Chain A
C-alpha cells in the first residue's frame, strides 16, 4: 500500500454511462496502481463490465474522464486503448479458434514489413512472432498440447492461459481481466491466478473482475464494489471482512 502515494496509472473520475433509459454507471471513480491487484466486485448488472468496456475503449463515457499516468486520455477504440498500454482479457477471451496461439497473440498488431506500405498490405514477420510467443508461453509455464495447432483444439484452461499470456506480452500499464476463472475447474483456475500474480509482479496494474471471494482475498490489494451503477465501497479485502464485501455486493446490511 506504499504505492498509494504514487500517481495512479489509471484513474477514472466521475464516470457516467447511459444505455437508453438504463443508467449503467453513476459517478463512478477508481484508481489503479502499478504492482497492485484491484478487484472490481458487484452483482450481475452492477456495471462492472460497462466500466471495463469504457476503460478498454469498447464504449466511451457519457461524462467523466479517464486519466492515464495523470494525463486525461480519450480512449475511442480498443486499438487506442491497446496502444496506450491497456490490455483486456475479455470474458469471451476474444480468441480466434481457427488460429494458432502465436497467431492469436499478435492478431490485430502483427509484426510486419515494409513500413511504407499500408498496414493490411505488409508482409507478416512470422518467425519473430512465433519465437516471441513461444518464449512467453515458456516463461509463463503454460503447457500446450501443440504449439502450431489451432486454439479450437485446446481445453478451457489452456485457452484462458493463452488469453492471459497474450495480455502479458503487450501490457505496459494495465491489465483488465473479466472473470478469468469463471469457466474453469480448480486446477486450471490455480494456474490462471498464478499468471495474474506474475503480471502484478512484473509491475502492471491489474483490475480483476470475479465473483470468487477466495480469489479476491488471496490476490487483491484493494477491492471496489459497485451496485446498480454506483460505487458503494472500497476496502482492503481480508478474510475477516469477506462477509462485509458480500453484504456490500448484494446490498444487505453489513
Chain B
C-alpha cells in the first residue's frame, strides 16, 4: 500500500498539506513493514478457537475412554452413532438456518408430525417409497410454511413463526395419531435405514453421510451456498449486490424441514414406529449442536462440520454420563454449561477479529 501512495503523491505533484505529510511519513516508514507481533498472537488465538470444538471433542473422548474402557468398544461406538444420527441430520438443516441469523424451533415437532404422517401412509399403502416420501415431504412442507410466513409475512424474526409451527405440528401429530402414542409398524426399507447395520456401522450413519455430502456440495460448490453465506453475513449488502435474499431465506427453512423429514425416517426406522411424542426438545439439541460445534449464532459463520461435531459431542456426553451412571438431570446441566462456553467463545472470536482489524490498520499506517 505504501509504495503506490508515494508514487501517487509524486505524480500528481499537488501541494496539499495532506499529501506532503503522506509523502513525508512514506519516506520514514517505507520498507520497514513492521512484523506486528500482536497480529501473530491474535491470528494464532483465532486459529485455536476455530479448532476448539474438535480439540474438546478429542479431549472428552480420550478422557472418558481412559475412565470407562467400555466406552471405546465397537459396540458402544456404533451405539453412539445410531443415537447421534437423528440429531446430526436435523442439526445440519438447523445449521443452514442459523447461518442466515435465523432459528428453527419447529424441527422436533415437525419430525414427530412427519413420523405420524408416515405411519398413516403405511396404513394406507405398504410401500417404502410412499412412506419415506411422505415423511420427507411433510418435513419440507412445514419448512416452506416457516420460510414463506417469515419472509413474506414480514416477520422481524423467525422465532415466533417457528414457535407457532412447533405448536401446530405437535397438535396435528397428536390429532392425526388419534390417541395412540405409538403407531407401530414401518415398511422394510425404513426399518433397514433406521434400525439395521451394514459393514459394522448402523445404516443411519450412512444416511447422515449422504445428507452431509449433499449439503456439503450445495453449500461449498454451488452458487446457492455462497448466497446463504452472503445473506447471513450482511443481508443489506446482499440486497445491494442483487442476491434474491427472500428466496434464499425461504430455501434454508425448506432445507431444515427436509432434514427434519429425513430425521423422521431415521427415527421411525430405528423404533419401527411413528409417534406424536418424538423429537421432544430436539430443536434445543440441534441448536446446541450447531453452537457447541463452533458456528456463530450471529450468522454467516459456520459449516457442516460444526453441526456434526456438535451432534457427536452431545451424543458422546450423553452416552458417557449414562455409562458412568450419572443422573440424567446432570446431563442437561452439562450440556447447558457447554452451550454457555461455546457462545462465550463466539464472543471472544468477535473481539479478537476486532483486534486484528485494529492491528492491520496500525500496520498499514
**A residues whose Cβ falls under 8 Å from a Cβ of B:** 56, 58, 77-79, 82, 88, 90, 92-99, 103, 107-110, 112, 119-124, 141-143, 145, 152-158, 161, 185-191, 193-194, 197, 214, 218
**B residues whose Cβ falls under 8 Å from a Cβ of A:** 1-5, 8-9, 12, 14, 16, 18-19, 21-22, 25, 39, 43, 221-224, 226-227, 229-230, 232-234, 236-244, 247-248, 251, 300-301, 353, 356-358, 360-361, 363-365
Contacting pair B22 A82 (CB below 8 A): no
What is the number of contacts between chain A and chain B, taking CB atoms within 8 Å?
150
Contacting pair A218 B16 (CB below 8 A): yes
Given contacts A95-B234, A98-B301, A99-B233, contact A186 B18 (CB under 8 A): yes
Closest to B248 in A: A120
B215 to chain A, nearest CB (A): 14
Contacting pair B18 A153 (CB below 8 A): no
Complex: how many Å from CA A152 to CA B301?
A: 11
Residues from chain A with a CB closer than 8 A to the CB of B243 are 107-108
Given contacts A98-B232, A187-B22, A193-B8, contact A155 B240 (CB under 8 A): no
Contacting pair B241 A107 (CB below 8 A): yes
Complex: how many Å from CA A80 to CA B325?
A: 64
Complex: how many Å from CA A93 to CA B233?
A: 13
Which residue from A94, A154, A214 sits with its C-beta under 8 Å from B236? A94
A7 to chain B, nearest CB (A): 27
Contacting pair A96 B18 (CB below 8 A): no
Closest to A161 in B: B1
B203 to chain A, nearest CB (A): 28
Given contacts A92-B237, A141-B3, A218-B16, contact A187 B365 (CB under 8 A): yes
Complex: how many Å from CA A142 to CA B300?
A: 26
Residues from chain A with a CB closer than 8 A to the CB of B43 are 153
Which residue from B18, B19, B221, B240 sits with its C-beta under 8 Å from A78? B240
Contacting pair B240 A90 (CB below 8 A): yes
Which residue from A82, A121, A190 sits with its C-beta under 8 Å from B224? A121
Contacting pair B18 A143 (CB below 8 A): no
Residues from chain B with a CB closer than 8 A to the CB of A99 are 229-230, 233
Contacting pair A78 B241 (CB below 8 A): yes
Complex: how many Å from CA A161 to CA B360?
A: 14
Which residue from A78, A143, A157 sits with its C-beta under 8 Å from B361? A157
A193 to chain B, nearest CB (A): 7
A143 to chain B, nearest CB (A): 4
Contacting pair A143 B223 (CB below 8 A): no
Contacting pair A153 B357 (CB below 8 A): yes
Residues from chain A with a CB closer than 8 A to the CB of B363 are 145, 155
Beyond A78-B240, A153-B360, 16 extra complex contacts between A and B, CB < 8 Å: A56-B240, A88-B240, A90-B237, A90-B240, A94-B236, A94-B240, A97-B300, A120-B247, A121-B224, A124-B222, A145-B360, A155-B361, A158-B360, A186-B21, A187-B2, A197-B8
B95 to chain A, nearest CB (A): 14
Residues from chain A with a CB closer than 8 A to the CB of B238 are 96, 107-108
Complex: how many Å from CA A99 to CA B220?
A: 12
Residues from chain B with a CB closer than 8 A to the CB of A112 are 223
Contacting pair A110 B226 (CB below 8 A): yes
The list of the 3 closest CB pairs from A to B, nearest first, reads A79-B242, A108-B241, A155-B361
A113 to chain B, nearest CB (A): 10
Contacting pair A122 B1 (CB below 8 A): no
Residues from chain B with a CB closer than 8 A to the CB of A123 are 221-223
Given contacts A94-B236, A124-B221, contact A187 B364 (CB under 8 A): yes
A-B contact list, 23 entries, CB within 8 Å: A78-B242, A92-B236, A97-B300, A99-B233, A103-B226, A107-B226, A108-B243, A112-B223, A120-B222, A120-B224, A120-B247, A123-B221, A143-B1, A152-B357, A153-B356, A154-B360, A155-B363, A156-B357, A185-B365, A186-B18, A187-B5, A197-B8, A214-B18
Which residue from B9, B223, B233, B234 sits with its C-beta under 8 Å from A190? B9
Complex: how many Å from CA A186 to CA B365?
A: 9
Given contacts A78-B241, A214-B16, contact A190 B8 (CB under 8 A): yes
A222 to chain B, nearest CB (A): 19
Residues from chain A with a CB closer than 8 A to the CB of B356 are 153
Complex: how many Å from CA A194 to CA B363?
A: 20
Complex: how many Å from CA A171 to CA B237?
A: 18
Contacting pair B5 A191 (CB below 8 A): yes
Which residue from A109, A121, A214 sits with its C-beta under 8 Å from B242? A109
